[in-house]
Amino acid sequence: MSCQNCREALSARLDGEPLGLPADELDGHLAACSDCAAWVRVAEVVTRRARLAPAPPVPDLTATVLAALPRELPGARAAARSRLAVTGLRLVLLAVGVAQAALAWPVLVSGAGAMSAPVHMAHETGAWNVALAAAFLAVAAAPGLAAGALPFLGSFAALLAAVTVSDLSAGHVHADRAVAHLLLVAGVAAVAVLAWRGRRRREAPAVADRRVTA
């Protein structure tokens, strides 16, 4: 084996690369050749110093990077407005739920204010109105429930509006009683808006994914 081939194999060994020849032949030549043995000792020192050399100093670019950032991230203002709107709708539902429960509780407990209806029918009406209040309060606490509550609340509000208009025209109900139903309409409107906003948030990532995969 020539010293040139030996030193190429020794360099490969220092770098963790394939030797290109049998290791026992390399070690045998190294044991017999003092020049190659001296060469590999120097190569080991040079390699170690190169690997342990300190990294060059890097300037601190933190201030430069922060200064280059926009004062406000894209969409931050829209996201803040969206959170504010959701908070407002939740407060509306909280108020509607509490007011609905306050109106329904006397009817549920004692039948008071039930327009001379039989006691059991008054109790049923009170229980129904308390359930509506509970639905509004549940959506206020967890807006994600809006889509599930909307079919029930929306159908009830639509039917109630239709029969209330009919009863008003026929003189079967007083105007003040009909005005009280506006509380329910306001709550259903708030639930509908929350459900619509929740659907838009769910659809946005799906649209983005389709654009990426297209």
The residue extents of the domains of the chain are 3-51, 79-213
The pLDDT profile of the chain, 214 residues, written as one tens digit per residue, is 788 888 888 888 888 888 888 888 888 887 888 888 888 888 888 888 777 767 778 888 888 887 877 666 666 677 778 888 889 999 999 999 999 888 887 777 766 555 555 666 777 777 888 888 999 999 999 999 999 999 989 998 898 888 888 878 887 777 777 777 788 889 999 999 999 988 877 665 544 445 445 4
Instruction: Report yes or no on whether pTM surpasses 0.75.
Output: no
For 177, residues 6+ apart whose C-beta sits below 8 A from its C-beta are 115
Q: How far apart are CA 67 and CA 182, in angstroms?
A: 52
Which of 54, 24, 52, 27 has the alpha carbon at shortest distance from 40?
27
The count of C-alpha atoms lying within 13 angstroms of the C-alpha of 19, restricted to the half-sphere facing its C-beta, is: 12
